[in-house]
Amino acid sequence: MAGDRSAERVRAQVPTSSDTHGRRAHRKLLTAGLVGSSIEWYDFFLYGTAAALVFPHIFFPGSSPFVATLLSFSTFWAGFVARPVGGLIAGHYGDKYGRKPAVVVSLFVMGACTFLIGCLPTAGAIGVAAPVLLVLLRFAQGLACGGQWGGIVLLLTESASPKRRGFSGTFGQMGVSFGVLLGNLIFVGTSSSVSNEAFLSWGWRIPFLLSAVLFPVVYFIQTRVEDSPEFKELERQVAAGKEVVPQAPLLEAIKGSWRTILLGCGLLAATNALFYISIAGVLSYATAALDMNRNELLTMSMLSCLISVPVVAWSGWMSDRIGRRPLIMVGAVGIVVWAFPYFWLVNTANLTAFFVAVTVGSIFQSMTYGPVAAYMGELFAPNVRYSGASLAYQLAAITISGGTPFIMTALIEETGTTTVVAVFVALMGVITFASAWRLRETNPASVRSDPQALPGLAHAV
């Protein structure tokens, strides 16, 4: 009898072909999520680098340097204005018809719009029509970006085992750092290969045209990746009459979870503000006001992003073990403390000091960003999850992300100092800490210690 039980335990520990297939399929999904989100964010952030360093010269040549920079950053902001709209549209269809279809459409639109920006005539060729077309394409980029985040992170986290959702979600979050890294690498490589005149004439187009590599990724996801098991289970529950998908998932999410949506938006305040200052606002400031070398700054930004990748992965992994809130709150406190030293170091106009400023800031903001993918989804019920999580995430985009470089430039011009910008960043850190403090833990000790328990809504606000 004892020998029979021992044999049963041994057989239970041997992976079945189904288990092996499941793990292989999940690894394939993690890879597709990382590659797809990296290229998607490459497309979106590439615009920010160009808005800081190129677009003022070729789309607003008749304006003063200050006005041209503001106008360029205002077109950058247009993408963030569109992101909530894209999130609402994708969330509606993603909750009703599946995560994968919404992701595929979003990725395709992003690749097409970025490629077309690379084909745009400049203001010197077609006048005012050039910046108008630029804004329209940037708006469409924002729609696509707003739709893809929720879909990718839900595919990743809903397909993961309950105890690995935090880590799995980081494969969508790490795409942000890889996107910036790829964008800066190609931008530096292109600008270093040709003269400044040639770069402003045609070289700047190359990074945008390279976005065509996103299309094979879209095809792979469409043909080789399945929708999440949790959404498939929801479909089965709906077919059996045990569950209902609202006709308007967004309205249902707002009606039942509007406080959670606003607090979810607040979770991203600190990381978004410091991130967009580092990849756009401070690049413009350091080149224009401090006369620092553009390519050297981009190189430092690339190295900083490279360091942030393992921090994002580690923070998601740790959130599976100690909970989502602790990582977010520690990162938020770090951003508050670092806000003033950040700008003191940048203002030295020393390249090493600049690198230290953006890298330490990147570590703190990555700690808050890593767990958000799993945390945000767990705050909402499956039938409104795409809509609720996307709305919270994209509200932060329109209220904080897109406007931060513009606000930074205007504040420095008005006050002649970066002190007010540091105060702004510290305030964002306080908002993130307060939001995490108010939200309850979705992965508490009682869930982490129970192999059968699922992190999620029962433990949220």
Structural domain contains residue 299: yes
Structural domain contains residue 46: yes
- Mean pLDDT check: name the lowest of 21-35, 37-51, 102-116: 21-35
Structural domain contains residue 19: no
Structural domain contains residue 11: no
CA separation for the pair 322, 441 (Å, rounded): 10
pLDDT at 460 over 70: no
On whether the CB atoms of residues 104 and 84 are closer than 8 A, the answer is: no
pLDDT at 461 over 70: no
CA separation for the pair 246, 336 (Å, rounded): 40
pLDDT at 415 over 80: yes
pLDDT band at 349 (very low <50, low <70, confident <90, very high): very high
CATH classification at residue 37: 1.20.1250.20
Give how many domains the chain has, as a whole number: 1
Say which residues have a Cβ less than 8 Å from residue 352's Cβ, sequence separation at least 6: none
Structural domain contains residue 3: no
Structural domain contains residue 18: no
Amino acid sitting at position 216: P
- CA R_g for the chain: 22
pLDDT band at 312 (very low <50, low <70, confident <90, very high): very high
- Mean pLDDT check: name the lowest of 170-174, 202-206, 444-448: 444-448
- pTM, to two decimals: 0.83
Domain membership of residue 147 as a residue range: 33-459
Higher per-residue confidence, 396 vs 7? 396
User: What pLDDT, on a 0 to 100 scale, did the predictor assign at position 268?
Assistant: 95
Q: Per residue in 101-154, pLDDT tens?
A: 999 999 999 999 999 999 999 888 898 888 889 989 999 999 998 898 988 999
pLDDT at 56 over 60: yes
User: What pLDDT, on a 0 to 100 scale, did the predictor assign at position 29?
Assistant: 84
